Structure 1
Amino acid sequence: MSSELLDPLDLAFWHLESAGHPMHLGALALFESRPGAAGVVDLLASRAAAIPRLRMRVRDVLLPVGGAAWSTAKDFDVRRHVREVSLVGDDFTAEVTAAAGELMERPLERGLPPWEMYLLRGARDDRFAVLVKLHHALADGMRAVAIGAGIFDEIADVRRTGSRRARPLPPRSWLAGPRGLADFAQDRIEELGRAVGVGASVVRASRLDPRGLPALTAAPSGTRRLGTAVLPLDDVQQVRRVMGGTANDVLLAVVAGALRRWMHGRGERLPAAGPRALVPVSRRRPGSPPGAGNKLSAYLLQLPVAEPDPWLRLASVRKAMDRNKAAGPARGAGAVALLADQLPPLAHRFGAPLAGGAARMLFDVLVTSVPLPRSALSLGGCPLREIYPMAPLARGQSLAVAMSTYSGQVHIGLVADGKALPDLDRLADAAREELDELLALVCGHRAHEDASHG
């Protein structure tokens, strides 16, 4: 892979970045220590160096005007990207979480391949964690998982033995025949038609005065704080089986309830409508290879924080998500990312900062789910215990929520502006409290049904 133009959405993410708003994704992985794990940083470096995508950097191109391309960094040195950090405190979990938040503040160096990995070692024992940062232009959530998974023993073994070789793609012709040109023209007409509809929805959904949620739209400080929560997947599934819908519906309701508890504890006014969540969805077909670039759309969801009944909050979320899914990810204001495909590269270069500043007019908080491999993972023989995904903050916003399921648990990573949300740990606690209350309602419902049939 020598050179490859950035797709329009990748180019938008590249130009959205500023010093105070870095546009990288992250993941914090915590491992159980095992004897002989001293060489983990060397293992990380060697495995990262073996992933071709991590050798790519962004460079400007003459054509198209305003465009950029991925090209292989000829002077690539993996040691400029993989670093070791020694923690000094006694509480490993608290120390590693605080360190990860601080490291997420720092933008990636744009002249290098846009990624970093940090090995975080505890001061009192052999426990360690790995923080991975990937620029959003490099990958969306699914692609980031596919890239980052290369550091784990199981995926590295498969690559080394070649037991799962990808099928080669057929040669691609750049000279389309008449049928190909006709199909291309038809596709472009359909895309433009969808874009017009999405654009109109965005205009209708935009708020001229989005200042009603000070906790989530405080002035940016450039600082970052990480909060984490762990929810038992069995509890989520129990609620889903009684209420219906999907596990993601339950988790979105948990986020809504957690925000309600947290805002109420802060003494903030609970808005009658909202806050609005942007819920990304992948445009990749199920079972297809991750591929390069971002393939994203999204749904807009009003989180019913004003509703005092957890059961009704969940019902409201489920109903709204059912409407979103019926409309599909290519319609509605949430599909704003699809507009990137219709803009020329020069528009992304100069218009991205304006678009980034307008994000708060459309939504208040990002809530995303990142799929992970279902199999158990390890690094240097040390089992992966917990993994927390992290999403970037849009301009004018103070909180992003990312969730992943691994080893029977839902891991929630809360990335926040450090000064706007100094009480982020309270929000993490509120997520656990909300699921506990939903589970209690489910148990009460089942007990009532059992008594009725007894």
Structure 2
Amino acid sequence: MQIVGVMVCNGRIDDERLRRTVAARLLRYRRFRQVIQEDPDGLWWIDDADFAIAAHVRRSLLPPPGGKTGLQNFVAELASMPLNPARPRWEFNVVETADGNSAIVIRIHHVIADGIALIGVIHSLTDGRADAPPQTGLPATEAGAPPTPGRGNANDDTGSGIWRTLFEPLVDLAQASLSLGGNLWGQYQGLRRDPAALRDYTSVVRAVAEEIGRLALMPGDTPTRFKGTACTIKRVAWSQPLPLAEIKAVGQALCCSVNDLLLAAAAGALRSYLVHKGDAVEGAEIRAMVPVNLRRAGDGEELGNHFGLVALELPLGSDNPLVRLYATRARMTALKASYQAMLTFALLGAAGMAPRYIEEQILKLLTSKTTAVMTNVPGSAEARFLAGCRIEQQLAWVPQAGDIGVGVSILSYNGRVQFGLITDRNMVDDPQWIADQFGREFEKLLWLALLETPERLLDPLLVADDVNALSKRHDAHAAR
């Protein structure tokens, strides 16, 4: 359960300056200097008495054949290896690429923080210009440190215990501007003032029970080669970056959000892969768990995990990209108006404090009905510099629990959008094919937005012939 990222930097990075930068800026978060200890009372964060920055920021050799393929193989190898539990669970590996540049492969265990928080943490390591003065020194405290020096519950990084785990999602949900009715919000405020009044709020209990019931009774999605028994070997791939301005313009023309557009393009790429392999796709729909950020505005660097999950069904059955796009938009709109993100957050938090068997059953329930995990994380809008080197490219991959074998990550940086894919070898041994197809699926939507009138775009069936012509042209281009 590690989040893996790559930063490709222009030129050779100075190892000593990088270590000083990481020591000064990353280690202000106490979690990065702590390990997890288990005893009869539970799991606890404790300070690592033997912590050494050199054990976490080090240089590695890029295996042959070098280049992008060598870097992908290196990232996949690291993604397949667990982090050392005897040390704080994170590391930076610096490798030199054949073109004279450097790449930094970052691994951070999900127990430390979620993707939104880590984007903020990594951003704090960087500067807006190459000649920014380096920082030195190790701060004594961490933002959000445990209340007891040297020891904090690993299941509760805020110190507020079961109360936050079960009910604070209501606050997070409201702050995230998701749908939380005024009546329910008033009930929550009353509950905070008088916890004993829980028995009076039957509507809250009913809403929770109904949503959990829907999750429990959720049918399995279409069996495809993307599902199976996971092994310990991963594959990673990434696409050529796409201009964010173009994506926004196409989204505006098609009356869709950037997120809807990118998710639909990902669905098209996955569908094309199944067709390429000769698999049946008629009526196929696969379910992806999509994380929803439940943090308050301004809490981007607060560590811990503060996200819910919504189960998005990706329409793979249609060969019409507009049909897939509009179906994705409608389903995401419905999910945003539901309690699902809030309740999965509370459910997973409660599962973490339940006996191990119950926790395993809840996770099994969620993962058995899911084919992929898909996330869309915004990075810096402008180019950044790390230890004096300009970051040219940023990539990230999300972990997958259980037998989920596909992880899709979409990350924006410096006006470009990067599509990344991590797969289990048993299910997809050649994810680069899917990554390359992602750009082609977006191009289909781009050409439709340019060539069709707004009236025709409202009805995907009106442009079916044009869609088929575009598909044939793209297939011929791919064959060459």
Same fold (TM over 0.5): yes
Check whether the contact 1:202–1:362 (CA below 8 A) recurs between aligned residues.
Answer: no
Q: Report the Cα distance in structure 1 between the residues aligned to 2:94 and 2:65, rounded to whole angstroms.
A: 17
Partner of 2:60: 85
Q: Tell which deviates more after alignment, 317-326 or 372-381.
A: 372-381
Q: Report the Cα distance in structure 1 between the residues aligned to 2:197 and 2:455, rounded to whole angstroms.
A: 57
Partner of 1:139: 113
Q: What one-letter code is carried by the residue in structure 2 that aligns with 1:220? A: A
Report 1 or 2 for greater relative contact order, CA contacts < 8 Å, sequence distance ≥ 6: 1
Check whether the contact 1:260–1:305 (CA below 8 A) recurs between aligned residues.
Answer: yes
Quote the offset at 1:446 in angstroms. Answer: 5.1
Whether 1:205 aligns to 2:218 is: yes
Q: Report the Cα distance in structure 1 between the residues aligned to 2:349 and 2:196, rounded to whole angstroms.
A: 15
Quote the offset at 1:69 in angstroms. Answer: 2.2
Cα 1:429/1:345, change in 2 over 3 Å: same
Decide which of 361, 365, 369 is 1:358's aligned counterpart: 365
Quote the offset at 1:385 in angstroms. Answer: 0.8
Whether 1:217 aligns to 2:227 is: yes
Partner of 1:435: 442
Quote the offset at 1:358 in angstroms. Answer: 3.4
Partner of 1:130: 104
Q: Report the Cα distance in structure 2 between the residues aligned to 1:437 and 1:394, rounded to whole angstroms.
A: 33
Partner of 1:396: 403
Whether 1:267 aligns to 2:278 is: yes
Quote the offset at 1:410 in angstroms. Answer: 0.7
Deviations 1:142-175 (A, max 9, x none): 11222333432459969779xxx99999x9999x
Q: Report the Cα distance in structure 2 between the residues aligned to 1:28 and 1:136, rounded to whole angstroms.
A: 16
Q: Report the Cα distance in structure 1 between the residues aligned to 2:90 and 2:70, rounded to whole angstroms.
A: 22
Decide which of 51, 55, 80 is 1:76's aligned counterpart: 51
Partner of 2:155: none
Check whether the contact 1:32–1:382 (CA below 8 A) recurs between aligned residues.
Answer: yes
Whether 1:315 aligns to 2:319 is: no
Quote the offset at 1:195 in angstroms. Answer: 3.7
Whether 1:46 aligns to 2:23 is: yes
Equivalent residues in 2 for 1:11-410, closer than 5 Å: 23-33=1-11, 37=14, 39=16, 42-43=19-20, 46-47=23-24, 48-63=26-41, 67-89=42-64, 91-122=66-97, 124-154=98-128, 182-185=193-196, 194-207=207-220, 212-229=222-239, 230-270=241-281, 272-330=283-341, 335-343=343-351, 345-347=353-355, 349-410=356-417
Q: Report the Cα distance in structure 2 between the residues aligned to 1:223 and 1:166, rounded to whole angstroms.
A: 35
Q: What one-letter code is carried by the residue in structure 2 that aligns with 1:338? A: A
Quote the offset at 1:428 in angstroms. Answer: 0.4
Check whether the contact 1:25–1:135 (CA below 8 A) recurs between aligned residues.
Answer: yes
Check whether the contact 1:198–1:339 (CA below 8 A) recurs between aligned residues.
Answer: no
Q: Report the Cα distance in structure 2 between the residues aligned to 1:238 and 1:112, rounded to whole angstroms.
A: 46
Check whether the contact 2:120–2:300 (CA below 8 A) recurs between aligned residues.
Answer: no
Give 3-state SS (helix, strand or coil) of 1:358's partner: helix
Q: What one-letter code is carried by the residue in structure 2 that aligns with 1:416? A: T
Q: Tell which deviates more after alignment, 289-298 or 83-92.
A: 83-92
Check whether the contact 2:34–2:45 (CA below 8 A) recurs between aligned residues.
Answer: yes
Q: Tell which deviates more after alignment, 322-331 or 390-399.
A: 322-331
Give 3-state SS (helix, strand or coil) of 2:452's partner: helix
Check whether the contact 2:211–2:340 (CA below 8 A) recurs between aligned residues.
Answer: no
Q: Report the Cα distance in structure 2 between the residues aligned to 1:183 and 1:375, rounded to whole angstroms.
A: 47
Quote the offset at 1:418 in angstroms. Answer: 2.4
Partner of 2:178: none
Q: What one-letter code is carried by the residue in structure 1 that aligns with 2:2? A: H
Give 3-state SS (helix, strand or coil) of 2:423's partner: strand
Quote the offset at 1:61 in angstroms. Answer: 4.7
Deviations 1:368-401 (A, max 9, x none): 1123233421112211111111111222221100
Q: Report the Cα distance in structure 1 between the residues aligned to 2:226 and 2:351, rounded to whole angstroms.
A: 30
Q: What one-letter code is carried by the residue in structure 2 that aligns with 1:270? A: V
Aligned residues with identical type, % of pairs: 23
Cα 1:293/1:444, change in 2 over 3 Å: same
Check whether the contact 1:399–1:417 (CA below 8 A) recurs between aligned residues.
Answer: yes
Quote the offset at 1:42 in angstroms. Answer: 3.5
Quote the offset at 1:253 in angstroms. Answer: 0.5
Note the residue ranges of structure 2 that are not aligned, 5 or more in a row.
Answer: 148-157, 164-189, 457-480
Q: Report the Cα distance in structure 2 between the residues aligned to 1:421 and 1:368, rounded to whole angstroms.
A: 19
Quote the offset at 1:202 in angstroms. Answer: 0.9
Q: Tell which deviates more after alignment, 258-267 or 364-373.
A: 364-373
Cα 1:293/1:234, change in 2 over 3 Å: same
Give 3-state SS (helix, strand or coil) of 2:82's partner: coil
Q: Report the Cα distance in structure 1 between the residues aligned to 2:422 and 2:316, rounded to whole angstroms.
A: 20
Give 3-state SS (helix, strand or coil) of 2:60's partner: strand
Give 3-state SS (helix, strand or coil) of 1:86's partner: coil
TM-score with structure 1 length normalisation?
Answer: 0.80
Q: Report the Cα distance in structure 1 between the residues aligned to 2:17 and 2:236, rounded to whole angstroms.
A: 24
Check whether the contact 1:281–1:329 (CA below 8 A) recurs between aligned residues.
Answer: no
Quote the offset at 1:219 in angstroms. Answer: 2.0
Quote the offset at 1:288 in angstroms. Answer: 3.4
Quote the offset at 1:340 in angstroms. Answer: 2.4
Q: What one-letter code is carried by the residue in structure 2 that aligns with 1:201? A: R
Q: What one-letter code is carried by the residue in structure 2 that aligns with 1:218? A: G
Cα 1:324/1:289, change in 2 over 3 Å: same
Decide which of 399, 410, 420 is 1:413's aligned counterpart: 420
Check whether the contact 2:33–2:51 (CA below 8 A) recurs between aligned residues.
Answer: yes
Partner of 1:20: none
Note the residue ranges of structure 1 that are not aligned, 5 or more in a row.
Answer: 1-22, 450-454
